[in-house]
Structure 1
Amino acid sequence: MGIHPQIQKLKRADIVVACPGRLLDHIRRHSIELTQLETLVLDEADHMLDMGFIPDVRQIFKHLPVNRQTLVFSATMPHEIRQLTKTFLNDPVTIKIGVTAPADTVSHAFYPVAHHLKTALLLNLLENSNAESVLVFTRTKHRAKSLGKKLMTAGYQAASLQGNLSQSRRQASLDGFRDGKFKILVATDIAARGIDVTRISHVINYDMPSTPDTYIHRIGRTGRATRSGEAYTFITGEDKKMVNAISRAIGSNIEQRILPTFNYGGTSHNVAHRSRQYKKLHRNKVERKR
């Protein structure tokens, strides 16, 4: 909806639902008056953080009355959101609904690896596993898109799911993954929200999640409906604190694995070599079937 129809509707509204940027636009246009606001609700606060909306939210708070009720809803509580609540909420009460815990059907493993060898390690894992349906998590949209392309170049049926996709392309990726057209889906935490696929056999954290809660949310996509699932996490030397935090959240030390078939002294150039190896192996399998 354009800005001018919104201005007309705001004249008669008691409840306003808005994204931070558009609300801030109306504040600057003086088309909305917030001095009498009674209740403010911030929904999906961690989503706003990942989308870069928190600076706009801070600006909006400057235009709100001191006496108000503020409710913050968030699937996870990263440090930045906790700081926001401390700054703008007065003696807030925390309510945690449905204490998260990993399913017993999921097995966990950490894979230590240098950052520049992550893609090569991922290819090695895929080549040497019986993974049926794999969900790979990355920290950024750019990395999700780039990794998806690399997996396709290596010969895998893969797609990426990230915020820059149009709704139609996002839906096509989701449907293809759900229907088995794509064996691998690479996604960011935000883009992966709403994925409901019961047959995911493996969740691979290409990038370390930012909080233990995020880790549990990620791996909750596998091991569903009494099926067994595997959760692999690539860890670098920078991830020691989060490794310990996740182990505490799980309630046990997670096994650290070294792949005997992987060259840990290699370079990122080995990715192209492994791509050729995979294509050759795939051709041989097809020929044997014939």
Structure 2
Amino acid sequence: MIDMGFEEDVRTIMSFFKHQRQTLLFSATMPKKIQDFAWQSLVEPVVVNVGRAGAANLDVIQEVEYIEPEARMLYLLECLQKTPPPVIIFSDIKNDVDEIHEYLLLKGIEAVAIHGSKSQEEREYAIKAFKSGRKDVMVASGVASKGLDFNEIQHVINFTMPKEIEDYVHQIGRTGRGGNRGVATTFVNQNVQQQTLLDLKYLLSEAKQK
């Protein structure tokens, strides 16, 4: 909710319970924004980590490809051949989400799209169609997809590399669940910030990725 712009609303609600409340905060990842919110909003909180906080799922095969921006769309089709569906494609840019969706439909691929500018009806249709297996691919913005849960995702493709490494961990964590193996392919290029690449390199090394 905080990532989706409801931080002030949450703070307002909490302000009505200043003197007596018990608060539990759960997050798959803890980027700095969430950490700051937690320390400002909670009173002497106890932190419990399951596994190493921010670590990638070891059941996910992480592949990183250097792809020039203008070549990504064509290479995307090759990536979709790596695994059977269902597949989630992430992009941080809403226009990319729409363009990818239209491109896949033109290529005869059963796909749906979801981002913050979609209506509630469009979002519900996309989620239901993807969950039921009627659609093979979901194209999503990272923020719009938070809080959604899908089973047995075979492949996650990051069309854009998230700016925060915690968001990367969260996105690739949509596959490789329940003891199953999954694949995550991430496109990088010269536009990715150096610090983000260093964080990614460390994460790959820690997960013993080749």
TM-score when scaled to structure 2?
Answer: 0.76
Match of 1:245 among 186, 196, 199: 199
Give the drift of 1:201: 0.7
Question: Deviation string for 1:114-172 (max 9, x for gaps)?
Answer: 2232222212322x423321111111333322321221122211101112223332222
Distance 2:32 2:85 in 1: 35
Higher radius of gyration, 1 or 2: 1
Give the drift of 1:83: 5.7
Question: Are 1:130 and 2:67 an aligned pair?
Answer: no
Distance 1:72 1:207 in 2: 32
Give the drift of 1:80: 4.3
Distance 2:135 2:34 in 1: 35
Q: Superposed, which structure 2 residues align to 1:194-213 within 5 Å?
A: 194-213=147-166
Matched positions, count: 204
1:69–1:205 distance in 2 versus 1, CA, 3 Å? same
Match of 1:95 among 43, 47, 51: 47
Match of 2:138 among 185, 192, 217: 185
Q: Residue 157 of structure 1 corresponds to which residue in structure 2?
A: 110
Q: Which moved more, 1:139-148 or 1:107-116?
A: 139-148
Question: Are 1:226 and 2:160 an aligned pair?
Answer: no
- SS at structure 1 position matched to 2:58: coil
Q: Which moved more, 1:113-122 or 1:74-83?
A: 74-83
Give the drift of 1:106: 1.5
Q: Residue 117 of structure 1 corresponds to which residue in structure 2?
A: 71
Give the drift of 1:197: 2.4
What code does the residue aligned with 2:157 have?
Answer: I
- SS at structure 2 position matched to 1:107: strand
- Across the aligned residues of Structure 1 and Structure 2, the Cα RMSD in angstroms comes to 3.4
1:189–1:70 distance in 2 versus 1, CA, 3 Å? farther
Contact 1:85 1:92 in 2 (8 A): no
Q: Residue 279 of structure 1 corresponds to which residue in structure 2?
A: none
Contact 2:23 2:42 in 1 (8 A): no
Runs of 4+ residues deviating >6 angstroms: 66-72, 89-92
- SS at structure 1 position matched to 2:108: coil
Distance 1:69 1:116 in 2: 52
Distance 1:166 1:107 in 2: 34
Question: Are 1:143 and 2:113 an aligned pair?
Answer: no
Q: Give the share of equivalent positions with the same residue, in percent.
A: 24
Contact 2:175 2:182 in 1 (8 A): yes
